[in-house]
Amino acid sequence: MPTMTYLEAISDALRTEMHRDESVFILGEDVAGFGGAFRITKGFVEDFGKRRVINTPISETAIIGAAIGAALNGMRPVVEMQFMDFVTNGFNQLANVAATTAYRWGIPVPMLVRGPAGGGVGGGPFHSRNSEAWFAHTPGIKVVCPSSAADAKGLTTAAIRDNNPVVMFEHKGLYRKIREDVPEGEYMVPLGEARTVRSGNDASVITYGSMVFTAREAAEKLAQEEGADIEIIDIRTLVPFDEEAVLASVRKTGRALVAHEATLTGGFAGEIAARLADKCFEFLDAPIRRVAAFDSPTPFAPTLERAVLPSVDVVTKALRELLEY
């Protein structure tokens, strides 16, 4: 089993699916000769040609609109957003057109919109947004947030093969940070299945994306210092949401901390907390806690960015308070 970075795993999934299915093609800004802002499609134009690796104008509306048209005509487009912050420029095409077409016309729209998201790399307010909750709130769109290299490959594959529009948020801080064993060849992780990252009995952390690593570090710290036994559930996909896995974990531990890097108000953690309160109330031994970024644009200055984003210390403190309740 080869070892790959998170970035290499996504690239491998794209390449594998393009070899397997000629209807899969890639479009986006600088994806051809340059290989994209983070080089995920480096070398693709040499292997697949300019008809399947297409450089586009700097117009997210046009890019996503073209992808919708291609999907309606039997293709499986993969759109690369140079940064997911700028998906806002194509929001109408995604939320009003792609998301509703199957409902309105009964025609599938198999397309993947993917790209780098998240903070922690000094990208400032225009290159650090975690906007997954916008799309989780839009019926008709599936939302994917992988945390591991293997999941990045498997979920990319599943997203390309799905007959619905899928939006995948790849945390740019993980691109080259992690290196793991990744299955060779065709590999798929089903959408809507959570993963138990760490088993435990004292409290559950429900999270996804970059916060999986933050939560794991906090859990290990509490285990060493206080003997706490923390369970971590990586939901992997927001839509579809693996509610049963989350409920089962919290029913076992009796305590729940929901964490994400996105800002607090309106974040997906609120949706998870509401479902837990509705369906797990009698199992809870403490109030449900949330950990998220401050309700602020992401600062450019590293010290301010670290202050805004949730940290290991913040998660550790919240877990300690939860355990002591």
- Catalytic annotation on 127? yes
CB 143 within 8 A of CB 238: yes
Find out whether 202 and 322 touch, Cβ atoms under 8 Å.
no
Residue 38 is classified by DSSP as T
Contacts (Cβ under 8 Å, ≥6 apart) of 154: 13, 183, 187, 188, 189
CA distances to 114, 145, 251, 299 from 54, in Å: 15, 25, 49, 33
Handedness of CA 205, 211, 212, 213 (dihedral sign): negative
The tokens for 213 are 């690593």
Residue 203 half-sphere exposure toward CB, CA atoms < 13 A = 31
Nearest CA among 204, 77, 234, 206 for reference residue 144 = 234
Catalytic residue among 127, 137, 171, 260: 127
Please report which residue ranges of 60-183 form alpha helices under DSSP H: 60-72, 91-92, 99-105, 132-136, 149-161
196, 236 Cβ separation under 8 angstroms: no
Which residues are catalytically annotated? 127
